[in-house]
Amino acid sequence: MAKHIFVTGGVVSSLGKGLTSASVGMLLERRGLTVRMQKLDPYINVDPGTMSPYQHGEVYVLDDGSETDLDLGHYERFTNSVLNRDSNYTTGQIYLSVITKERKGEFLGQTIQVIPHITNEIKAAVLKPAVPGVDVVITEIGGTVGDIESQPFLEAIRQMALDLGKENCLYIHLTLVPYLKAADELKTKPTQHSVGLLRQIGIQPDILICRSERSLTHEQRAKIALFCNVPIEAVIEEKDKTFSVYEVPLSLVEHGLDALIVRKLGLQTPEPDLTDWRELLERLRNPDHEVSIAVVGKYCEHRDAYKSIYEALDHGGIAHRARVRVQRIHSQQIESEGAEKLLAGVDGILVPGGFGERGIEGKVEAIRFARQQKIPCLGICLGMQCAVIEFARNVLGWAAAHSTEFNPATPHPVICLLDEQRNVTDKGGTMRLGAHPAVLATDSIAAQCYGKQEISERHRHRFEFNNDYRSEFAAAGMRIAGTSPDGMLVEIVELVDHPWFVAVQFHPEFKSQPIRPHPLFAGFVGAALRRRPARRDTTAQCQTA
């Protein structure tokens, strides 16, 4: 039977519960255990797919096409846990399922209540990843203890220890120990209150992970242990990481977290082998080169809107022992100030995915600049579509070319709605989603990067390259470098007369790991590095991430 670890958070949000859970998952895997990761989100949306990136950051897409919370990106970057629809549940999804059953008459006349119907549904969701062969399921509860929306989830995980036996469940609470400058002290009271709230609902945490900007003294840990009713060895410090999120697992090992977890769960495992992870941190700490990449998007002011892209760029840097300095540039700023001013001096330009017309012209301009100046350029999803629009307008001379997403009446609809989307009206979960195979052209940059011709990548789009224009594009120097296996959907375009210009309809960023950098990101950063010695001008006036 699988063991269950529940990770809750207290005091404030944004403590890094996702990163901590991912780190725990990784450490247990390194101890030879088979782990499954799961996130329960208290919001009422059925999934985050319909939410603006300003709300919760990027929407993270899985192979099976589920649109999920960005914490699942941490899980996939840190672990090899297989993620699917059962890896992310929201309040909306739980209620939708219970109400659907009620309408079908499945409850035989009962009054439907939060306890037991909603909590039973949550418990069933928590048990789904516990398939045969899985040793540990780690379930992270979104939100903060005390939130109204979290209550049913906490009640459900409280019941799990009764159902499965306390020896099979472990509760980890992540909390904040703030430093008060005026008092020059770390304060333990918020942690005491937060654990108090958990205990009120019947959960006694087994382990406390204390986020803090300073190290905790033995006395402070002893005080927290006493007031929160845990042994002192179970008060684990997690100091802020200023350098890289990939430091988190190593620091948790130093404080004995993984050893404590396996002991408490009665699991016999070897010590974790972290050689490759230490090597990765060494590469990050002591880079041989530096490279500057502009990410030209419209959600640049939001730290998490392009989370996986920023991570994948770092991974691309790791592949070349290079520090990647990301310049987040708002595409609307390009519209007002010009690509020449804002992008001069960058070594590479990345245009990410997105929806809606705002900022489109700035993205198109950034791509024009990259094409003409021969700056390495990676276009992703909407970025690929903008590359096609730019080429149509400025190389083929079709000044009003556009995507029908933005101008349905354009005389040159070079990007148009996918056939399968024509009758779709619902917004939630209806795009072309998840993993689809593609075949690469032999002579393409993409095939060189991947080192093979058959690939599978994740998608999230409604629009596509309009096949009517293929021959005109190819004749003018934009090569179709990858298509769906039946040849019907264009997946990759490249410029022939350019050192490195690759634009893809899919989202490679979702499959990049620090120890396995994605080939396209590694290729892109490599091309940017090769360009670097040639460039002189470093006048980019951009915001640094």
Neighbours of 412 (CB within 10 A): 20
Neighbours of 469 (CB within 10 A): 22
**Judged by CB, which is closer to ligand GLN: 353, or 413?**
353
x/- binding map, residues 342-361, to ligand GLN, per CB under 6 A? Answer: -----------xxx------
Quick check: 49 binds ligand GLN (CB under 6 A)?
no
Residue 509 known to be catalytic: yes
Polymer length of the chain: 545
Spot the catalytic one: 381, 386, 416, 449: 381
Quick check: 510 binds ligand GLN (CB under 6 A)?
no
Six token digits for residue 99: 């109400």
Q: Are 415 and 465 in contact (CB under 8 A)?
A: yes
Q: Are 350 and 383 in contact (CB under 8 A)?
A: yes
Residue with tokens 């010590």, as numbered in its chain: 271
**Alpha-carbon torsion (279, 281, 286, 288), positive or negative:** positive
**Judged by CB, which is closer to ligand GLN: 169, or 382?**
382
Q: What is the enclosing helix (H) or strand (E) of 349?
A: strand 348-351
Spot the catalytic one: 315, 509, 518, 542: 509
Quick check: 78 binds ligand GLN (CB under 6 A)?
no
Whole-number minimum distance, CB 75 to ligand GLN, in Å? 21
Residue choice 313, 381, 401, 416 for contact with ligand GLN (CB under 6 A): 381
Number of residues that bind ligand GLN (CB under 6 A): 10
**Judged by CB, which is closer to ligand GLN: 352, or 514?**
352
Whole-number minimum distance, CB 365 to ligand GLN, in Å? 18
Residue, CB closest to ligand GLN: 353
Helix (H, G, I), strand (E, B) or coil at 300: coil
**Judged by CB, which is closer to ligand GLN: 316, or 354?**
354
Spot the catalytic one: 117, 436, 507, 518: 507
Quick check: 363 binds ligand GLN (CB under 6 A)?
no
Whole-number minimum distance, CB 356 to ligand GLN, in Å? 8
Buried b (16+ CB within 10 A) or exposed e, 24-40: bbbbbbbbebebbbbbb
Whole-number minimum distance, CB 459 to ligand GLN, in Å? 8
Residue choice 47, 63, 135, 405 for contact with ligand GLN (CB under 6 A): 405
Residue 454 known to be catalytic: no
Residue 507 known to be catalytic: yes
Smallest Cα–Cα separation from 259: which of 236, 293, 280? 236
Cis peptide leading into residue 116 (ω within 30°): yes
Six token digits for residue 190: 């918020």
Six token digits for residue 349: 């330009």
Smallest Cα–Cα separation from 314: which of 301, 305, 323? 323
Smallest Cα–Cα separation from 488: which of 436, 542, 434, 433? 436
x/- binding map, residues 454-483, to ligand GLN, per CB under 6 A? Answer: ------xxxx--------------------
Residue choice 309, 339, 382, 446 for contact with ligand GLN (CB under 6 A): 382
Smallest Cα–Cα separation from 387: which of 470, 481, 491, 501? 501
Whole-number minimum distance, CB 305 to ligand GLN, in Å? 12
Whole-number minimum distance, CB 353 to ligand GLN, in Å? 3
- Give contact residues for ligand GLN (rule: CB under 6 A): 353-355, 381-382, 405, 460-463
What residues are labeled active site? Answer: 381, 507, 509
